[in-house]
């Protein structure tokens, strides 16, 4: 008698997350995070629509279920359906690992590393002095890599002024001076900078050698990303808004980026990211998984990170503090490779009960003329 799925349960968790529990008739519960930021309730409904396909099924047939959910939809992929599928896939791996008594990465060929490097976010300040203070505070916490963003006092325009470019440059330069040459500092353009302005900023930042330029433009037009990549020696990173192996194919084929950033809760789940990492390896590209999400997505990302040879660094905003019974603890910028079965985590149900429910929406930005800006 095979184990069977009996229930799919989702719940909104502050500040902006959606958690999933997949229950089985043997009492094993798998955890996943099927979230698309700002569309939590839509993802919850997408999970509910999957109940008829999964309840009564063997949860250990992970790839079979992935293929059935993805291909039987006819209209394949998209950020909502693929995020829902990603969370389900994480939960099924959690169940299988718990049933076999091993971490998920053991089912993917075993660990490739003993510890996993993470970076912390660190915003540019209002001025260079505050920017330097911000990075010093992160270094005091033991991090050896941080990521900041573009802050020029207002949303970037189609073509920017020297003053805007100099403002961003001076703040980043202050961060570099405060951190020194042996600390990695990446900068995220968030796909919100027009191409002409992106090139102006990249040229200004080159002397300070950012670890990578993330999403210098939105990757809807890969050829524009290629143009930027060819004009700078700095590593280009992209991928948080790409889904499944098919979404990353063109980026790799055109060598538009040397660092891919698939999100384990958006791009298809743990095994799909393993396939993307294999594709990237053939192009000598590294993997730096996107994860500005909750602790379940982070735990799932660690399982991937532990199993791939071309892992670079892991994003995180919450390692489980206030959500997990045993949060992950960074030491000198690294998290130890997990050793417990499945995803290796257990929710702190009492703490989470106080954080249920949210209505988080993305920020709405406008230029001074009232026109819409990206965020």
Q: Which residues are catalytic?
A: 190, 290
- DSSP letter, residue 220: T
Find, among 189, 274, 289, the residue nearest to 239 by Cα. Answer: 289
Find, among 79, 88, 20, 33, the residue nearest to 57 by Cα. Answer: 88
Q: How far is CA 49 from CA 25, 45, 285, 324, 362, in A?
A: 20, 6, 36, 28, 25
Q: How far is CA 332 from the centre of its chain?
A: 21
- 334 exposed, middle or buried (CB, 10 Å; 0-12, 13-18, 19+)? middle
Residue 13 bridge partners (DSSP): 17, 356
Contact residues for 336 (Cβ-Cβ < 8 A; gap 6+) = 114, 115, 116
Q: How far is CA 84 from the centre of its chain?
A: 15
CA distance 54 to 277: 28
3-state secondary structure of 138: helix
Q: How far is CA 49 from the centre of its chain?
A: 25
Contact residues for 169 (Cβ-Cβ < 8 A; gap 6+) = 201, 204, 205, 208
- Are β-strands 5-13 and 365-366 bridged in parallel, bridged antiparallel, or unpaired? unpaired
Residue 77 bridge partners (DSSP): none
Find, among 31, 37, 19, the residue nearest to 240 by Cα. Answer: 37
Contact residues for 266 (Cβ-Cβ < 8 A; gap 6+) = 36, 79, 82, 83, 86, 240, 241, 243, 290
């Amino acid at each position: 008698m095979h184990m069977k799925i009996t229930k799919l349960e989702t719940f909104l968790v502050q500040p902006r997350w959606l958690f999933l529990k997949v229950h089985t008739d043997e009492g094993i519960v798998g955890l996943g995070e099927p979230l698309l930021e700002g569309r939590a309730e839509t993802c919850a409904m997408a999970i509910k629509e999957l109940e008829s396909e999964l309840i009564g099924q063997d949860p250990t047939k992970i790839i079979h279920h992935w293929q059935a959910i993805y291909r039987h939809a006819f209209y394949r992929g998209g950020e909502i359906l693929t995020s829902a599928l990603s969370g389900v896939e994480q939960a099924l791996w959690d169940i299988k690992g718990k049933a076999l008594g091993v971490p998920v990465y053991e089912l993917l060929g075993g660990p490739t590393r003993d510890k996993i490097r993470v970076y912390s976010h660190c915003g540019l300040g209002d001025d260079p002095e505050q920017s330097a203070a911000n990075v010093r505070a992160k270094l005091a916490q033991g991090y050896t890599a941080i990521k900041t963003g573009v802050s020029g006092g207002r949303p970037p325009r189609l073509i920017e002024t020297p003053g805007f470019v100099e403002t961003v440059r001076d703040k980043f330069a202050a961060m570099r001076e405060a951190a020194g040459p042996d600390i990695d500092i990446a900068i995220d353009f968030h796909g919100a900078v027009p191409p002409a302005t992106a090139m102006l900023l990249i040229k200004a930042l080159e002397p300070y050698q950012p670890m990578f330029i993330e999403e210098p433009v939105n990757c809807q037009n890969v050829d524009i990303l290629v143009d930027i990549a060819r004009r700078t020696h700095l590593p280009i990173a992209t991928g948080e808004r790409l889904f499944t192996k098919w979404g990353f194919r063109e980026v790799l084929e055109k060598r538009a980026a040397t660092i891919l950033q698939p999100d384990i809760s958006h791009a298809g789940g743990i095994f799909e990211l393993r396939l993307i990492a294999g594709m990237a390896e053939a192009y000598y590209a590294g993997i730096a998984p996107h994860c500005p999400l909750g602790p379940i997505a982070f735990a799932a990302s660690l399982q991937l990170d532990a199993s791939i040879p071309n892992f670079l660094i892991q994003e995180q905003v919450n390692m489980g503090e206030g959500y997990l019974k045993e949060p992950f603890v960074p030491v000198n910028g690294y998290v130890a490779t997990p050793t417990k079965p499945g995803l290796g985590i257990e929710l702190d149900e009492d703490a989470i009960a106080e954080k249920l429910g949210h209505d988080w929406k993305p920020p709405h930005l406008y230029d001074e003329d009232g026109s819409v800006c990206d965020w």
